[in-house]
Amino acid sequence: MQVHATIAGLRAARAAVSRGQPVAVVPTMGNLHAGHIALMHQAREHADCVIATIFVNRLQFRPGEDFEKYPRTFAADCAQLEAAGVDHLFAPNEAEMYPQPQTYYVEPPPEQVNILDGEFRPGHFRGMATVVLKLLQITQPDVALFGKKDYQQLMVIRNMVADFNLPVQVIGGETVRADDGLALSSRNGYLSAAERAEAPRLFQVLTKVAAAVRAGNLDSRQLEQEAMAELRAHGWLPEYVALRKKLDLQFASAHESGLVVLAAARLGGTRLIDNLEV
């Protein structure tokens, strides 16, 4: 695996890929786990050349969030990527990605980003979409892979790629879970032992909502309120449990097809998100 710290170095490597050989990119913020590595293997199914990126993007963190303490495990990440057969790693520093303060931003439409996660993390998707556009311009992939655990992020990226006519196929990778159902996340490492034992409840709550919908319960509002009440009863601070349309994450009634139930909640000092397609 070749490691590139500069845009020029990555672009030179990208230019050396033979014409006609598909290239896939998997953007990450590092602190890799099995979910990330599954995306690397999935990328190999679609491309002859796989590029991973590691960059902790300050623009998508709000003041007071965990930018400074976000886990940075570069040596271990490199070892995992090498073992997964990744061809190139692009790992720039902030000065390389933002040699001067960013003045142009991707501004996703309010109806996509002022809901769900965007309601509780204003500006997050603006910063995320901006850096993803930069990474796609730098790496010039044919295919880009993102995990479905960040469901709203995936929707925003797909719409951005379509609106800008980027020649990139965006593929969502299935959420990888621990044996007890907890979605793998870099932030799981913040959990205490007791919190880690409690954390699978988030997925259990989503599973109950999905099962109720499949059983014919059409009262989505009641389902959401009951799910949040269960989380509160076990010490969580839920931000939302929401049944939405998969296509655009707008409000849905439970009798519609193509639904997803999403949740975000704080357990102690850790914010966890998850979702389950119905």
Report the catalytic residues: 36
Q: CA–CA separation, 268 vs 236, rounded Å?
A: 7
Find out whether 128 is annotated in a ligand binding site.
Answer: no
Find out whether 118 is annotated in a ligand binding site.
Answer: no
Find out whether 46 is annotated in a ligand binding site.
Answer: no
Q: Is 140 exposed, middle or buried (0-12, 13-18, 19+ CB in 10 A)?
A: middle
Find out whether 235 is annotated in a ligand binding site.
Answer: no
Q: CA–CA separation, 190 vs 198, rounded Å?
A: 13
Find out whether 186 is annotated in a ligand binding site.
Answer: yes
Could you tell me if 272 and 185 are in contact, meaning their C-beta atoms sit under 8 angstroms apart? yes
At 1 the three-state DSSP class reads coil
Provide the CB-side half-sphere exposure for 267 (13 A, CA).
25
Find out whether 212 is annotated in a ligand binding site.
Answer: no
Find out whether 257 is annotated in a ligand binding site.
Answer: no
Find out whether 127 is annotated in a ligand binding site.
Answer: no
Q: Is 187 exposed, middle or buried (0-12, 13-18, 19+ CB in 10 A)?
A: middle
User: Which residue positions form the known binding site for beta-alanine?
Assistant: 60
User: Which residue positions form the known binding site for (R)-pantoate?
Assistant: 60, 153
User: Which residue positions form the known binding site?
Assistant: 29-36, 60, 147-150, 153, 176, 184-187
User: Which residue positions form the known binding site for ATP?
Assistant: 29-36, 147-150, 176, 184-187
